[in-house]
Amino acid sequence: MNNHINTNSPLPKQSTEPRLTSLSHGGGCGCKIAPEVLSTILKNAGSMVVPEALLVGIETADDAAVYKLNDEQALIATTDFFMPIVDDPFDFGQIAAANALSAVYAMGGRPIMALALVGMPINVLSTTTIGKILAGGQSICERAGIPVAGGHTIDSVEPIYGLVALGIVHPLRVNVMLLQVLEIALF
């Protein structure tokens, strides 16, 4: 048995990047502002004009808004992003993208397009790691049959990734959380 170590082979390179979850003060939806605090913030923001075509807005606490375009189509719009809840960058991108698209499906719609929301500590994470996060999100969008048509990036202290997801639904087939709550209360 040869116990000789070949010193001519390069050693595996050790990553100097931190674990993704070590860069988050909270993970996933755990970072959301508490509903009572958000309610106070929105009250202090003043009243908004609500057009008649807005079928679902902030009053139902749904994760998406729905705007009637015509008698056959309504646009679903949602935004969802968060900090890492896993350390694998590709998995983080997949989880964040799936979470954003799930709101379109929950409203009864079909996704048509997404925009990426990317905030990364570019002095801490490599472009390779950030690229893997985006590739994970892109893979979910490809499975849904939609493009990531653009987005917005910032240099931030904590890694943040998610999507603006847009979808289409028939105006009479919108699943609204408020209606579900009322149905439960009535029965």
Q: Residue 82 belongs to a domain with what CATH number?
A: 3.30.1330.10
Does residue 142 lie within any of the structural domains?
yes
Encode pLDDT of 91-133 as tens digits.
Answer: 999 999 999 999 999 999 999 999 999 999 999 999 999 999 9
**How far is it, in rounded angstroms, from Cα 11 to Cα 39?**
55
At residue 149, does pLDDT exceed 90? yes
Give CA angle at 134 (133, 136), nearest 5°: 65
Per-residue pLDDT at 27: 57
Does residue 129 lie within any of the structural domains?
yes
Cα-trace Rg, the chain: 21
Does residue 8 lie within any of the structural domains?
no
Q: How confident is the model at residue 62 (pLDDT cuts 50, 70, 90)?
A: confident
Contacts of 141 (CB under 8 A, 6+ apart): 97, 101, 111, 114, 147, 148, 163
Does residue 48 lie within any of the structural domains?
no
Per-residue pLDDT at 24: 65
How many structural domains does the chain have?
1
Does residue 49 lie within any of the structural domains?
no
**Annotated active-site residue in 17, 29, 147, 157:** 29
Q: Which domain holds residue 139?
A: 62-186
At residue 14, does pLDDT exceed 70? no
Active site residue 141: no
